[in-house]
Amino acid sequence: MAGTVGYIGLGNMGGAMAGRLAANGFDLLVFDLSADAVEAAVAKGAAAAASGADLAAACDHISICVPDDAAVMEVITGDLGILGACRPGTTIAVHSTVHPDTVRDLAVLGAERDVAVFDAGVAGGAAAAEEGDLSIMAGVPESGLTDTARAVLDCCGGAVFEAGPVGAGMAMKVAFNVMTYFQQAALSAAHQIVVGEGSDPEQLLAAWRHVGQLGQLTERFYPLVTMAPETKVGEFGAFLEGTIYLAEKDLDLAASLGRELGRPMPVVETVRDSMGLVYGMPRPEGDS
């Protein structure tokens, strides 16, 4: 089996990936600010680290799956960050969807300590993570992937796509998410039209399937658009709010990359600002 692996960030995706690694015999250390999330990972066979630094000092490879750029930077380079505790030769995979430059900048800092930071964007959802069937989009360090890093990606991914050098995997992940959220927005709008006009949405689905217009992701999303707003409350409502935040964050990244490339993408911004409606959870008036 590969060397010791650490996992930081045990939310919906991170918890599923960590569970997959533990179930497949990896020597796995985990850390998260949520004691409940850590307890759930330990129940699946992981060991708990007292801190991110303690985890880093013991691991050959570390996977990170936290919400955004600021959180990734804090985990790696903050006052209690892991970079200073990593041993030479350690690899750090950033699974969070962040700006490609964030990973590139971290890779430069890591190289100063002989630590390889690289991007490994993940797509497919928690169920795919549990089955080891994620699509993983990697930006590969110049030195290549260590055996342990490769084993982690292969365990969680049904397909690992080497997009190019560090940063390229994250650009690919942002582009992937643009397609995903556009499909969700189109499905939601189409459903509203047919329901509003008294047409049968199931027949619309059948027509789409006939020409191959629906994929697995949109098929899984469809039940959500049929749910009444009053059912999207409690823990489920909180989960959806978190999902909407991530969608808005990822689409904002896409819009930013477009501007940086000199190719403004107003349609991306429109979908970004519509994700609450797409998920059937519009923001209260005046809320930003």
Active site residues: 173
What are the phi and psi torsion angles at 165 (to 5°)? -70, 175
Give, to the nearest 10 degrees, the angle between helix 168-196 and helix 100-111. 160
DSSP string across 178-228: HHHHHHHHHHHHHHHHHHHTT--HHHHHHHHHHTT---HHHHHHHHHHHS-
The rounded distance, in Å, linking the Cα atoms of 100 and 262 is: 16
Beta bridge partners of 135: 123, 159
Q: Are 106 and 73 in contact (CB under 8 A)?
A: yes
The rounded distance, in Å, linking the Cα atoms of 216 and 207 is: 16
User: Residues with Cβ < 8 Å from 225, sequence gap 6 or more?
Assistant: 187, 188, 191, 280
For residue 129, give both structure tokens.
């993570």
